[in-house]
Amino acid sequence: MKKVLSFILTPLFYTGFGLTLGVFHILQVVAYNLFGYPAHKKIVDLLNYVTLQNLLILGTRFSFHGNPDLPLDRPLIVVSNHQSMYDIPPLGWRLRKHHPKYISKIELGKNIPSISYNLRKGGSALIDRKNAKQALQEIDRFGKYIEKNKYAACIFPEGTRSRDGRLKKFKISGIEALLKATPSALIVPFVIDGNYRLLENGVFPMPVGLKIRYTILNPIEPHSLPIQELVHQMEEVIKKELRESITKTTNK
């Protein structure tokens, strides 16, 4: 029955998703050019919310967990595992008070309605993964921007998404460069558990009735540990949450 539903509901989901990107692209352009960053930010917040709601078409149930008292008067470095192209909306919506910005590959900065425009105009970093010098310079620029404005920098240190949900080893260089550029930042681990299953059949059909869990873990003061130990600690707390989440789901 679920397989039949997935074939019926997937076209409806993609229709809603496509309309969302198209409509909000126009709204972003208008808001940014007529009213500036504050109006553009509100449109992007709403874009993230509506994109999440589109998953309800597939019967997807998602939940947010963890509620640490994150400061608004210092920058954050949000370190997240990476499972699919649908990872951005939960980050953007849950952390909207902190003005989340992203380190993204340069290819995403063009030709994708809504997403490319937000990456270019919203203050994110676009890095060329084939050009280490450009990537480090862009992260340095980005980090100083985050430090100055007390925003949240979101980074996926695995470098690429995990197709089976298993955490890949974190790359140190991007986190190290970002920490140097944002000396007063607080590290916030963010755990995405289940987004990879949205694409377990490829782009079609999408599965129905999934349960997806997003968790903010307790923040980490970054300057008390050497970079290798700090990155290892971040990996371990995210792995632990993923394991515990599986146990909780199994026991229900």
Over the chain, what is the mean pLDDT?
A: 94
| Residue 159 pLDDT grade (very low, low, confident, very high; cuts 50, 70, 90) | confident
Give me the pLDDT at residue 251, please. 43
Q: Do the Cβ atoms of 76 and 185 come closer than 8 Å?
A: yes
Contact 222, 184 (CB under 8 A): no
Q: What is the average pLDDT across 103-119?
A: 96
pLDDT at 3: 87
Q: Kindly list the structural domains of the chain, giving each domain's residue range(s) and its CATH number in brackets, ordered by start.
A: 2-251 (3.40.1130)
In contact, 14 and 21? CB cutoff 8 Å: no
d(CA 216, CA 79): 10
DSSP type of residue 162: -
Whether the Cβ atoms of residue 75 and residue 151 lie closer than 8 Å to each other:
yes
At 2 the pLDDT is: 83
Instruction: For residues 199 and 95, give the distance between their C-alpha atoms in angstroms, rounded to a whole number.
Output: 24
- According to DSSP, residue 224 is labeled G
Instruction: Please check whether residue 98 is in contact with residue 41, taking contact to mean a CB–CB distance below 8 angstroms.
Output: no
pLDDT at 249 over 70: no
Residues of the chain above pLDDT 70, percent: 97
Q: What is the pLDDT of residues 56-77, one digit of tens each?
A: 999 999 999 998 889 999 999 9
What confidence category does residue 248 fall into, taking pLDDT thresholds of 50, 70 and 90? low
Q: Has residue 7 got a pLDDT over 70? A: yes
pLDDT greater than 90 at residue 225: no
pTM: 0.93
Identify any residues that bridge with 215 across adjacent strands, giving them in sequence order. Answer: 65, 191
Q: Count the neighbouring beta carbons within 10 Å of the beta carbon of residue 34.
A: 9
Note whether 119 and 47 are within 8 A (CB). Answer: no
State mean pLDDT over 128-132.
91
pLDDT for residue 67: 80
pLDDT digits (tens, 9 = 90+) for 132-151: 899 999 999 999 999 999 99
- The 10s digit of each residue's pLDDT in 10-46 is 999 999 999 999 999 999 999 999 999 999 999 999 9
Q: Is the pLDDT of residue 252 over 80?
A: no
pLDDT score for 246: 60
